[in-house]
Chains A and B, each alone.
Chain A
Amino acid sequence: MYHAIKKKDLQALLDILNQSHQCVGPLVSEQTLKYSSISKLSQLPLGYSDQQQPGEYRLNYNSQSSYYFSITTGAQGVKPWLFKPEQKLWSVNKQNGSIEFNEALSEQKPLAIVGLRACDLAALKLQDQHFLQQQYIDPYYAQHRENLFIVAVNCHRSVDTCFCASTGDGPEVKNAYDLLLTELEQDFVIQSGSEAGRNVLEILSSRIPLHIVTAEQEQEKQQGLDKASQQVRRIPDRPVAQLLSHRLNHQQWNRIAQRCLSCGNCTMVCPSCFCHKEYDEPALDLTGSTHIRQWDSCFTAEHSYIAGFHFRKETRQHYRQWLTHKFAFWHEQYGRSGCTGCGRCISWCPVGIDVTEELELLCQEPSCYVDG
């Protein structure tokens, strides 16, 4: 069942969420989009939209626009809120000749996040697969995930780096949401996708008028989604996973290595990348230490250092590892590709390496490439 609400009435939803949750949303900060605490509608980036190109990100402002959600993505979506860039895992203290380990998990207010897109939510499902696997539940991820309340937003536009339509993950949000908003010129269409979402919608209906969606509104919603589906980039319509795993010595890997900085930015902004490392921080009084988990990347030297040996020394190998894991070996691991088409790795690559273009070159028909 869909309803429509006036744009100003979104404030009522923010009020409800803020009562019980730490509520975060997409705000403009330092020339880009960042998810930060939000309580007022006026904090949302009314009139702002993003323009993204390989290695380029900029925000534009239009004072005539009535849209709050025209910025598609910033460098991060939901990932840093669940899989934290730095997470204290435990601490250990020396006491009277014995050592004592202490859990670092502490009671936290549940999180509500407003503004996530279809690509973000598809990636969230991939992270769930990784961090909530059978008996191997990651308690630090699970803590925020279990009570996470998601207000998703359908995209009404795409930027040049988007390719979710070709991965099948967008632009329409299909699952993993509690509430889903579609922004129209004058209104929001709002729908629930879970028990928790229905409950919030019911509370909302007692505070503001919920209108039945008209045929015109339904049409406008569809037009927005159709417009967002018009994307200039796509992943090749070929068996990418099989082709990549048979082309580990393709010349194109060397050409990529000419440009790739091995800086790891693509993995940091990728909403599905989950690699991390752990280290200890000893206390100065030498009575204990804290064990910390930190985002890592397959592009670091340390990441490929095992038993006194760097088994991936060259940039060519680092990039190949990332791309083949994401697009080939992820299938064996999790039953699908690890890419949801958000395009962040293209925009935030300092040298503008375009993953769709590289896949195209790597997966061309055999007659066009030289293996060796």
Chain B
Amino acid sequence: MMDKPRIAVHKFASCDGCQLAFLNMGPELLELANHVEIVHFVEAGMVAPDAEVDIAFVEGSVSTEEDIERIHAIRKLSKQVITIGACAGSGGLQALRNLADGEQWLNELYPQPQYIQSLNNTHPVKDYIKVDFEVWGCPVSTQQIKQVVTSLLLGASPLQSKDKICLECKRQQRVCTLVTIPTTGTPKELENRQKACLGPITAAGCGALCPSVGRACYGCYGLADNAEPAALARRFEGLGLVSKAIAQKLLLFHSHEDALRRAAENMSETQEAFNGQ
């Protein structure tokens, strides 16, 4: 029998939520441990950051000088590098600072900014090293992690579907929050007419979580394939949203995506939206 593949889970600038997708497997994590050797996973108690591994999962964005060195080292130690989550994939929420003056924010937010050692901009992992596979989500789900790991263990390429949320939503026969106008319910529900849902441009994978409870998708799974953010932005204008609100919606999680930036930049007042002017 071959040696079990060795796995590491690394953390960069992030909230740790994606790593929970492993821990949330519960008893299935023990089943997984029969097939892999988890050598580095600080949140689960294994610490061996310098060990060579077959698969390195990376959570978080690259935000400091030290992060840059560390991500290069991980690449050298790992046969495959797989990013998990919005931060590692496109910079995540904290990449909003790339739209502003990082230096200025630092001085405004911290009483003693000289102790903060962060780069002015934060970057997705792929900006520094070759990434073999990206798992999208904020956070990624246990289901996605299981799918990726089992596929790799069986020697198959993991599924990489970046279809739109709408397909997932319609397959479940959920009600379209962007089309349906509520006519019964509490005054609050009635006040909420059609919702500015990002489902039509957002990649599936979450199971249409927010629309399935009647909320608008806010785009945490990243941009879908052949998405049309500019056309959706125009539809949001039709719903009565001002440019600033639309730009903020588009850029919240994945401001590093060129297509989203272009769509947001085409809306007027975008700069003010991020400079708080």
Contacts and interface: CB of A to CB of B under 8 A. Distances in A.
Binding between chains A and B: yes
Interface string B129-153: 0000000000000000011001101
Most B CB within 10 A of own CB, among A30, A34, A347: A30
B184 A61 contact: yes
A353 to B, nearest CB: 10
Contact of B161 (A86, A259, A302): A302
B154 A286 contact: yes
A315 B259 CA distance: 15
Nearest to A29: B175
A85 B163 CA distance: 15
A259 B184 CA distance: 30
A262 B228 contact: yes
B147 A281 contact: yes
B228 A261 contact: yes
Contacts of A58: 180-183
Contact of B31 (A32, A264, A284): A284
Interface string B176-188: 1011111111000
Interface string A60-90: 1100000000000001100010000110000
A299 B175 CA distance: 20
Contacts of A132: none
User: What is the interface residue range for chain A against chain B?
Assistant: 35 or more
Contact of B163 (A55, A265, A300, A314): A300
B31 A350 contact: no
B113 interface: no
Given A265-B170, A268-B167, A260 B228 contact: yes
A313 B226 contact: yes
Contact of B231 (A56, A76, A258): A258
Contact of A284 (B150, B162, B180, B183): B150
Contacts of B185: 31
A264 B166 contact: yes
A285 B31 contact: yes
Contacts of A32: 175, 180
Nearest to A269: B170
B182 A31 contact: yes
B201 interface: yes
A268 B165 CA distance: 12
A55 B181 CA distance: 10
B226 A318 contact: yes
A208 interface: no
Contacts of B201: 261, 263
A56 B179 contact: yes
Nearest to A35: B173
Contacts of B170: 75, 85, 264-265, 268-269, 295
Given A268-B166, A300-B225, A301-B225, A263 B194 contact: no
Contacts of A295: 167, 170-171
Contacts of B28: 284
A265 B163 CA distance: 12
B266 interface: no
A160 B232 CA distance: 24
A229 B175 CA distance: 28
Nearest to B181: A58
A56 B171 contact: no
Contact of A350 (B178, B181, B225): B178
A282 B150 contact: yes
A351 B171 contact: no
Contacts of A281: 147
Interface of A: 29-32, 34, 55-61, 75-76, 80, 85-86, 258-265, 268-269, 279-286, 289, 294-297, 299-302, 313-315, 318, 347-351
Given A296-B163, A297-B167, A351-B232, 6 more contacts: A55-B178, A261-B232, A262-B226, A268-B170, A286-B153, A286-B154
15 contacts: A31-B182, A75-B170, A86-B171, A261-B164, A261-B228, A262-B228, A264-B167, A265-B200, A280-B156, A302-B161, A302-B225, A315-B228, A347-B179, A350-B232, A350-B235
